[in-house]
Amino acid sequence: MLALTACGSASGGAGAAAGAGTSRAPDAVEPLPDTPVPALPATATSADGRAVTVASAERIVPLNGSLAEIVFSLGLGPKVVARDVSTTFQQATALPVITQAHDVSAEGVLSLHPTVVLADRSTGPAEAIAQIRAAGVPLLVLDDAKRLEDVGPRIDTVAAALGVPDAGRQLKERTEQRTTAARAALPTVERHPKVAFLYLRGSASVYLLGGPASGAGSLITAVGGEDAGTAAGLTGDFTPLTSEALVKAAPDAILVMSKGLDSVGGVDGLLKLPGVAQTPAGLDRRIVSIEDGQLLSYGPRTPQVIHEIAEQLYPGAAK
């Protein structure tokens, strides 16, 4: 995908030309070197309080990209029989999609005869979840992952439910080591840049500014930045983008998903949205763009996301 770049004065102490681009690493997951053999049955406690017993991991259906990423990274990708629209990495693209927009099709799931289904609290509608459970399929709900601290427990829970706890420990340790290394490689900056996370869907005229519950704040902090929406006093996850809100946030950089950036016509189109051109980020054209399926996945590829955000946020900066 074409990277969009432009030069301007640096802010946030980067001391280098600013720009925008999409994540350059391949959109793929890295399985553990050894394929684990599930030891089942295994019982796990679902986030909605149910005890869920999994007797077979032969036909797995993860209902979002983050959970699919964990399953594939554990080495159980060949046992996955379906994906949702947010599961876009290379190893899963041939699988059938069983969501309509972001809603799960219970009929689509059940038609594939799954032996276990993985979901989180944001998965819906509730009627579909109830229908899958009523058919006798073990369905485990996990808490939503919105912080770096959520990655390890999420891996543990999925691995334990699928009967591969040792593989889970290996994957968690690998992910933690890579996260530490990615953060250690960050450049030294004069001050923490304020970064605004914008959710953009130009085709639907949806333009939102992220707040403390958007899920991006933990990543922004991890790369040495300050979440501009939180600093501006926003509450909740998102608020409609207005000139007043963005000017008040005064971001030094803007973080977006790559498809969202494409949907508004790239950097030039983004600068036409309310208030963007008047911010330090807009004046410097300092835009950070990460693939949609990777940015907020909070899973084994999160260290890669940290590296790619930092690479774009601090172009050319030395550690």
Q: Which residue has the tokens 């399926």?
A: 293
pLDDT at 190: 83
Contacts for 107 with CB less than 8 Å, ≥ 6 apart: none
State the DSSP code for 145.
P
What's the CA gap between 161 and 115, in Å, rounded? 12
Tens digits of per-residue pLDDT, 74-94?
A: 999 999 999 999 899 999 999
Q: What is the mean pLDDT of residues 191-207?
A: 95
Would residue 316 be called left, alpha or beta, if left means φ above 0 and alpha means ψ between -120 and 50 degrees?
left
Say if residue 26's pLDDT is above 80.
no
pLDDT at 53 over 60: yes
12 pLDDT tier (thresholds 50, 70, 90): very low
N-term to C-term CA, the chain: 28
Q: Which of 205, 254, 256, 249 is nearest to 231 (CA)?
A: 249
Cα gap 85→65, rounded to integer Å:
8
Phi, psi dihedrals of residue 4, rounded to the nearest 5°: -100, 125
Give Cα 179 distance to the centre of its chain. 15
What is the length of the chain?
A: 319
Q: How confident is the model at residue 318 (pLDDT cuts 50, 70, 90)?
A: low
Confidence of residue 189 (pLDDT cuts 50, 70, 90): confident
Q: Which of these, 76, 91, 244, 218, lies nearest to 161 by C-alpha position?
A: 76
Q: In the structure, what pLDDT confidence band is assigned to residue 191 with cuts at 50, 70 and 90?
A: confident
Closest CA to 209 of 183, 186, 235: 235
**Per-residue pLDDT for 25 more than 90?**
no
Convert the pLDDT of each residue in 42-51 to its tens digit. Answer: 999 999 999 9
The yes-or-no verdict on residue 14 having pLDDT over 60 is no
